[in-house]
Amino acid sequence: MSKGITQKSEDHSKWYTDVITKAQLADYGPVKGTMVIKPYGFAIWELVKDEFDKQFKATGHQNAYFPLFIPKSFLAKEADHIEGFAKECAIVTHSRLMADENGSIKVDPTSKLEEEIIVRPTSETVIWHMYKKWINSYRDLPILINQWANVVRWEMRTRLFLRTSEFLWQEGHTAHSSEEEAREETLKILDIYESVSKNHLAIPVLTGKKSESEKFAGAIDTYCIEAMMGDKRALQAGTSHYLGQNFAKAFDVKFQTENNTEEYVYASSWGVSTRLIGAIIMVHGDNNGLRLPPSIAPTQVVIVPFFRNDDDLELIKNYINPYLNKLSNSGIRFLLDDREKISPGYKFNEWELKGVPLRIEVGSKEIDSNELTLFRRDINEKSTVPIDSLINYIHDTLDEIQVNLYDQANKFRDDNSFTADSYEEFKSIIQDGGFVRCGWDGTELSEKQIKDATKATIRCIPFDQDPSGKRCIFSGEKAKFEAVFAKAY
Determine the size of the site formed for a copy of itself (CB under 8 A).
65
Among 89, 205, 367, 436, interactor with a copy of itself by CB under 8 A: 89
Max CA separation in the chain (angstroms): 81
Closest to 302 measured CA to CA, from 50, 40, 22:
40
Closest to 205 measured CA to CA, from 398, 50, 368, 413:
413
Please answer whether residues 438 and 482 qualify as being in contact, where contact means their C-beta atoms are separated by less than 8 angstroms.
yes
Is 162 a binding residue for a copy of itself by CB under 8 A? The answer is: no
Please answer whether residues 45 and 37 qualify as being in contact, where contact means their C-beta atoms are separated by less than 8 angstroms.
yes
Geometric angle at alpha carbon 52, from 357 and 152, rounded to 5°? 100
Nearer to a copy of itself (CB atom), residue 94 or residue 382: 94
Nearer to a copy of itself (CB atom), residue 133 or residue 157: 133
User: Segment near a copy of itself (CB under 8 A), from 7-15, 144-152, 367-375, 429-437?
Assistant: 144-152
Is 93 a binding residue for a copy of itself by CB under 8 A? The answer is: yes
Nearer to a copy of itself (CB atom), residue 42 or residue 481: 42
Among 22, 38, 254, 427, interactor with a copy of itself by CB under 8 A: 38
Nearer to a copy of itself (CB atom), residue 5 or residue 89: 89
CA distances from 481 to 211, 214, 330 (A): 10, 15, 49
Is 154 a binding residue for a copy of itself by CB under 8 A? The answer is: yes
Among 9, 36, 54, 388, interactor with a copy of itself by CB under 8 A: 36
Is 432 a binding residue for a copy of itself by CB under 8 A? The answer is: no
Is 302 a binding residue for a copy of itself by CB under 8 A? The answer is: no
Please answer whether residues 460 and 208 qualify as being in contact, where contact means their C-beta atoms are separated by less than 8 angstroms.
yes
Helix (H) or strand (E) run with residue 133 in it: helix 124-134
How many other C-beta atoms lie within 10 A of the C-beta of residue 408?
17
Among 9, 11, 14, 27, interactor with a copy of itself by CB under 8 A: 27
Is 91 a binding residue for a copy of itself by CB under 8 A? The answer is: yes
Helix (H, G, I), strand (E, B) or coil at 277: helix
Among 1, 58, 101, 104, interactor with a copy of itself by CB under 8 A: 104
Minimum CB separation from a copy of itself for residue 445, in Å? 25
Is 335 a binding residue for a copy of itself by CB under 8 A? The answer is: no
Can you give the length of the chain in residues?
489
Closest to 416 measured CA to CA, from 402, 403, 431, 404:
431
Helix (H) or strand (E) run with residue 413 in it: helix 390-415
CA distances from 248 to 159, 255, 427, 446 (A): 35, 10, 43, 33
With a CB cutoff of 8 Å and minimum separation 6, the contacts of 416 are: 228, 232, 433, 434, 435
d(CA 94, CA 214): 36
Among 7, 13, 54, 94, interactor with a copy of itself by CB under 8 A: 94
Nearer to a copy of itself (CB atom), residue 45 or residue 319: 45
Among 11, 88, 179, 396, interactor with a copy of itself by CB under 8 A: 88
User: Segment near a copy of itself (CB under 8 A), from 30-38, 219-227, 350-358, 460-468?
Assistant: 30-38
Is 105 a binding residue for a copy of itself by CB under 8 A? The answer is: yes
Minimum CB separation from a copy of itself for residue 482, in Å? 37
> What one-character-per-residue DSSP string does 182-225 give?
HHHHHHHHHHHHHHHHHHTS----EEEE--TTTS-TT-SEEEEE
Nearer to a copy of itself (CB atom), residue 63 or residue 369: 63
Nearer to a copy of itself (CB atom), residue 151 or residue 243: 151
Nearer to a copy of itself (CB atom), residue 14 or residue 96: 96
Strands 62-63 and 143-152 turn out to be parallel
Nearer to a copy of itself (CB atom), residue 161 or residue 474: 161
Site for a copy of itself in 233-292 (CB under 8 A): none
Site for a copy of itself in 42-81 (CB under 8 A): 42-43, 45-46, 62-72, 74-76, 79
Q: Which long-range contacts (C-beta less than 8 Å, at least 24 apart) are formed by 79-87?
A: 80/217, 80/218, 81/216, 81/217, 81/218, 81/246, 82/217, 83/217, 84/216, 84/217, 85/121, 85/122, 85/153, 86/118, 86/121, 86/122
Is 483 a binding residue for a copy of itself by CB under 8 A? The answer is: no
User: Contact positions toward a copy of itself, by CB under 8 A?
Assistant: 27, 29-31, 34-39, 42-43, 45-46, 62-72, 74-76, 79, 82, 86-99, 103-105, 107, 111, 116-119, 126, 129-130, 133, 145, 149-150, 152, 154, 165-166, 168
